[in-house]
Structure 1
Amino acid sequence: MPHTTLSVAVCICDDTTLTDFIPPCEIMSSANFAETPLFPEHLQAEVTYRFRFEFIAPSMRPIAAVFMPFGPSINPTKTYNDALKEGYQYDIIWVPAGPMPNMITKTDRTPQIELDFIKAQAPKAKYILSVCGGSIILAMAGVLSGKRATSNKLFFRVAEEISPKDITWVPVARWVVDGNVWTSSGVTSGIDMTLAFMEHLMGRSVAQHMRSQVEVIEHKQDEDPFGVYSALLDTV
């Protein structure tokens, strides 16, 4: 069956949050099995995309996830320097949370080479997506200027404080879409955003089948109790 393969650059560095991209990547990659019993025959023709992933980091050594040395690590497939030298344009830029901003100095701790890569890729990328504090990285790379976005409520005020002032931060949202830029709130909301993104690409029937594969309860885009929980707003 005819299909389009989208390349996905997952931007990682030390202190990244694995759950910001591993479950989403697994959901998206299920499309690669469209012509197998994983999808019923009546849906197979509707799975019009396949996905190819690259996990890009400052170096090729294993990336220490958040909470290391007590958590897992992940092996990159390419460095930012090599990716920049190659000049290949990725279709999708996926940005999980990286190192938390310095809560005392209110400064970002993202490696400059990661910001350089995102800046180089963003203008021609078909889609740019972030989960949790990944939106702070996008903000520091200049991708969110003039746009609406959201982030993990734990760092929401810090995001507002350290990022450019021409960003409209949305405090109550599981995810926000502004043009080709999708940003989500903390961790699990990234799964909700991924399934909404699959619906955007391939329709509701395919997305709902993917949802059934991972048994994720559907949430609305503005169904976000954590905005209130984190005392961002007095009422929803």
Structure 2
Amino acid sequence: MAQILTVAVCICNGVTYTDFIPPMEILSSVNVPATETLALLGDVMKNVPYKFAIDYVAPTKEPVGGTVSTLPKLNPTQTYSEALSKGIQYDIIWIPAGPLAPDPVTGKNPTPEEQIDFIRKQGPGAKYIMSVCAGSLQLAMAGLLDGKRATTNKALYKVIVNETSKAINWVPKARWVIDGNVWTSSGVAAGSDMALAFLEHLFGRELAQFVRGVFEIPEVNNSEDDPFAAFHGLV
């Protein structure tokens, strides 16, 4: 029987949907029963050692909106306070980019304090901590990147580096970076690249390549080479 890995996707109003919806679809592909369509394309998906149970965790149960008002809203499955009060420890913490524009009066970062507190408290017990795009800023705010190599969205790279601890070793060119159990990726589409690399880490290359072929995502041959670093003048 497959072991269940629990995932907390940390969201709030202003979240970037593409930082977590495609990656969660990629991870959830291993949950498809062996008798259904995906497995009919090959037997590599049979008898997988892990499956994923995903919670979308937010400050409240109110529907969460994305970066623009025309996007559909997502219903959270758990609140930060509920999860903490129940003593839930997630195996994987997945952190997409949240709201980035500071308060025009106070200059305060708009990410809800309970979200950063949840990440800070969950981090030490998590098997994996993973951020996409400016989700790395939330990891830095929670103190979970000090002493580690990490990367982030290249368009926001200089801003994030300037706003965060000098104890973080930011990598300007990487598509994604792995330092121990902390995985950080560049912007948006890089989250899907990291999700496929994570599948390979957990399940092996054959399964990851099978999923890649189903989703039709071109392979990134070198995680330390992100072409958008040059585009944004970082190298």
In structure 1, how many angstroms separate the alpha carbons of the residues matched to 2:197 and 2:33? 18
Counterpart among 220, 224, 230 of residue 222 in structure 1 = 224
Counterpart of 2:10? 11
What corresponds to 2:100 in structure 1?
Answer: 100
Deviation at 1:64, TM superposition (A): 1.1
8 Å Cα contact 1:106/1:158 also seen in 2: no
Contact 2:30 2:45 in 1 (8 A): no
RMSD (CA atoms): 1.6
Check whether the contact 1:62–1:75 (CA below 8 A) recurs between aligned residues: yes
Match of 1:207 in 2: 208
Aligned length: 231
- Residues 65 and 200 of structure 1: is their aligned pair in 2 closer, same or farther, counting only changes over 3 Å? same
Structure-2-length-normalised TM-score: 0.93
Cα distance in 1 for partners of 2:87, 2:148 equals 26
SS at match of 1:171: coil
- Deviating beyond 3 angstroms after TM superposition, the runs of 4 or more aligned structure 1 residues are 103-107
Partner of 1:191: 192
Q: CA deviation at 1:72?
A: 2.2
SS at match of 1:212: helix
Give the gaps of 5 or more residues in structure 1.
Answer: none
Q: Distance in 1 between matches of 2:125 and 2:57?
A: 18
Unpaired runs of 5+ in structure 2?
none
* CA deviations over 1:125-160 (Å, ceiling 9, x no partner): 000101001001100011111100000011111111
Tell whether the 8 Å contact from 1:84 to 1:117 is kept in structure 2 after alignment: yes
Distance 2:155 2:188 in 1: 11
Note the C-alpha offset of 1:101: 4.3
With over 3 angstroms needed to count, the CA separation of the structure-2 counterparts of 1:135 and 1:4, relative to structure 1, is same
Contact map agreement 1:47 1:206 (CA 8 A) in 2: no
Query: Which residue number in structure 2 is paired with residue 70 of structure 1?
Result: 70
User: Which one-letter code corresponds to 1:78 in the other structure?
Assistant: Q
Q: Trace 1:1-236 onto structure 2 (pairs within 5 A).
A: 2-37=1-36, 38-39=38-39, 42-45=43-46, 47-67=48-68, 69-102=69-102, 107-219=108-220, 220-233=222-235
Amino acid at match of 1:155: L
Please give the per-residue CA displacement for 1:159-189, whole angstroms capped at 9, x wherever unaligned.
1111111001100011000000000000000
Q: Once the two structures are aligned, what percentage of the paired residues are identical?
A: 50
